[in-house]
Amino acid sequence: NTAGTLELNIDEVGLYFKCFLPNTSYAQDVYELVKRKDVSKMSFGFFTAPNGDKFTKDEGGGYLRTIYDISQIYEVSLCTIPAYADTNVSVAQRNLTNVEDEFKKAQDLLTLQLELETY
């Protein structure tokens, strides 16, 4: 995160993040897809600390991995088919209001500019 636009934190529930999107068409597209819940899941890549995880066999013969200590998170991704089904991503309501207000101001300014240019 060399740009300083991503904050990652871990609490008792798990990993959460805050991202400050740039003013680009791609970022606006991602924002709209998350807002509409077309994209609502996350995946992330990490390394565990030594002895930071444990594998146990479940009743169906599969394995369950329990993670106790993450040493490094090296990647987070928005996605529709996540590696971890219990993940989610959403637009924080307070940020949604701010973005919508800024968008409305920009639209009003553009409308005013167009009106001035036509006179």
Averaged pLDDT, 66-76: 89
Q: How confident is the model at residue 119 (pLDDT cuts 50, 70, 90)?
A: low
pTM above 0.75, yes or no: no
pLDDT at 117 over 90: no
pLDDT number for residue 84: 82
pLDDT of res. 40:
92
Q: Are 52 and 93 in contact (CB under 8 A)?
A: no
- What count of other Cβ atoms lies within 10 Å of the Cβ of residue 89? 20
According to DSSP, the residues that pair with 45 across neighbouring strands are: 75
Q: Across residues 42-52, what is the average pLDDT?
A: 92
pLDDT in tens, 1-46: 678 888 888 888 878 888 888 889 998 899 899 989 999 999 988 9
**Bridge partners of 110?**
none
The Cβ-side half-sphere exposure at 8, using a 13 Å CA radius, reads 13
Cβ–Cβ contacts within 10 Å for residue 117, how many? 7
Q: Are 18 and 6 in contact (CB under 8 A)?
A: yes
Average pLDDT, the chain: 84
pLDDT per position as a tens digit, 74-115: 888 999 999 888 888 888 766 556 666 776 777 777 777 666
- What CA–CA distance (Å, rounded) separates 44 from 87? 10
User: Closest Cα partner for 17 from 78, 102, 60?
Assistant: 78
